[in-house]
Chains A and B, each alone.
Chain A
């Protein structure tokens, strides 16, 4: 190979090298610019995510607390199969009697969705208070939307008419 051929081969070699590197750098620089842009967007997105993301552990604690509170609350409501007006009437009747109260009359009343029991009783004021306390401390929610107490007789005997009902648990979607 003479000097001229060597020189031409040299030029060819450098042309190939420079062309290859030129194309390589062009492609890689474009790729790098594209990557940087995407990285910038994703980093911004990630930052936003982290700012707006609530603390999962806190939420789990809150859920567990709520679950416990709800379970305790539900427990104080009757489920459909657990009670009916007549069984409830028997419970109240027994409670009044055990409180030393004389039952003059009782009846059922439909008020809206609920069925209430109306009792007319006579007896010692302390017995009636004891009855009300038992209602208050009952495992289940019993409510007395109406009560009238008359103690005009003045000998510690009261006449009272009250309506009493119980709470049933309905699912939210019901």
Chain B
């Protein structure tokens, strides 16, 4: 079971008490939330016109100026919203001086702070469209919240009198006329529960339906959705979670589509690069082909010029000299184009023929005639052949 504490001001000093009297004072060290004294707060209820939720706080700040006389800089406030069955939206404002709140914050040491309204709020929905009075009974004060059938809402606080009957009669006086019947919901300690119910029924001059709940029942309903006061307000998200998930999905889908498009675009750029490469290569090829054609033309011209270079007579005679022996004497030599004819006197013309074969410049060499000379070891011979000069 969670433990809660409440504060009472006794002798000008705040004192902490555990809600459950059976608990020891040690349980105060581990309390989860602190109920502040209603006597320290001024509660105002105002209807909220139709407006976006984020604008409500600004509207209330403005509204407080006309509702509360305190200096704005010394005043702090918090609020809780609720909607009646007739769809009217109300804000219940809790106002106090700043130093009072600072004192509570110091006492609570960062724990949640609340007022009785936070405990009554979960019960409001149980009485749709009915006149209902919620009263929260404490040792020294009673917090009263009134809903009329006409969707009028009001809140009071009063110090407790010497006896219960007096308290009840004072409350009855505060309650405006509500027609024939109304509900009275009482939160009190376990000890006073039955007594209060009995007295209310006895004193009631109208058709009153009384329900009494122990405070512990209300405390048990405290959870994370309870309207704790003066906490750091979480920034309300503009978009709810379901929509957020859907939007996230859509964003993910769009991002993947964009990534896919980027891949396609990259391929397109690559294609453009390829086309440009092909284009420049084609241009380059044209240049290379033109270069090749030029080279071919030059080679052709060069070959044609080389073909026109005719054999060099001086070199032919030099080659012939290297074939002939020193004692060979040329009688006559005729060279016409590639054909030559030689008449000479010398020794061993057959051996000479072997040397002609070794010279590739002379081809088709024939020994046409050999005439031995009288009184000599030499012979007159005639040779013909071709000269091939490359």
A12 beta carbon closer than 8 Å to chain B: no
A79 beta carbon closer than 8 Å to chain B: no
The one of B260, B268, B313 that contacts A147, using a Cβ cutoff of 8 Å: B313
The residues of A with any CB-CB pair to B shorter than 8 Å are: 10, 13-14, 17, 21, 24-25, 28, 31-32, 35-36, 38-39, 42-43, 45-46, 49-50, 53-54, 56, 59-60, 62-63, 66-67, 69-70, 73-74, 77, 129, 132-133, 135-136, 141, 143-152, 154, 162, 167, 169, 172
Contact B300 A172 (CB under 8 A): yes
What residues of A have a CB within 8 angstroms of the CB of B298 in the complex? 63, 66-67, 70
Contact B336 A172 (CB under 8 A): no
What residues of B have a CB within 8 angstroms of the CB of A143 in the complex? 309-311
Alpha-carbon gap, A133 to B270, bound state (A): 69
Contact A59 B295 (CB under 8 A): yes
CB-CB contacts below 8 Å: B275-311 with A? 275, 277-278, 281-282, 284-285, 287-288, 291-292, 294-295, 297-302, 304-306, 308-311
With contact pairs A32-B267, A45-B278, A135-B313 given, residues A21 and B253 touching in the complex (Cβ less than 8 Å): yes
Chain A nearest CB, measured from B165 CB (Å): 50
State the interface size on chain B (CB cutoff 8 A): 54
With contact pairs A46-B274, A143-B310 given, residues A53 and B336 touching in the complex (Cβ less than 8 Å): no
Contact A39 B332 (CB under 8 A): no
Contact A133 B299 (CB under 8 A): no
What residues of A have a CB within 8 angstroms of the CB of B284 in the complex? 53, 56
Main secondary structure of the interface of A (DSSP, over half): helix
Alpha-carbon gap, A152 to B314, bound state (A): 20
CB-CB nearest in chain B for A159: B332
The one of A21, A141, A146 that contacts B309, using a Cβ cutoff of 8 Å: A141
Q: Give 25 pairs: A residue, B residue, CB < 8 Å, sorted on A.
A: A17-B250, A28-B264, A32-B267, A36-B267, A38-B271, A39-B270, A46-B274, A49-B282, A54-B288, A62-B295, A63-B294, A66-B302, A67-B298, A73-B302, A77-B308, A132-B317, A135-B314, A141-B308, A146-B336, A147-B333, A148-B332, A148-B334, A149-B333, A151-B330, A172-B301
Alpha-carbon gap, A46 to B294, bound state (A): 25
Contact A151 B260 (CB under 8 A): no
Extra A-B contacts (15), CB below 8 Å, given A46-B274, A56-B284, A151-B332: A10-B246, A25-B257, A31-B268, A32-B267, A35-B268, A56-B287, A60-B291, A66-B298, A67-B298, A74-B305, A146-B335, A147-B313, A148-B333, A149-B330, A152-B332
B234 beta carbon closer than 8 Å to chain A: no
B312 beta carbon closer than 8 Å to chain A: yes
CB-CB nearest in chain B for A134: B314
What residues of B have a CB within 8 angstroms of the CB of A42 in the complex? 271, 274-275, 278
CB-CB nearest in chain A for B263: A32
Alpha-carbon gap, A146 to B261, bound state (A): 85
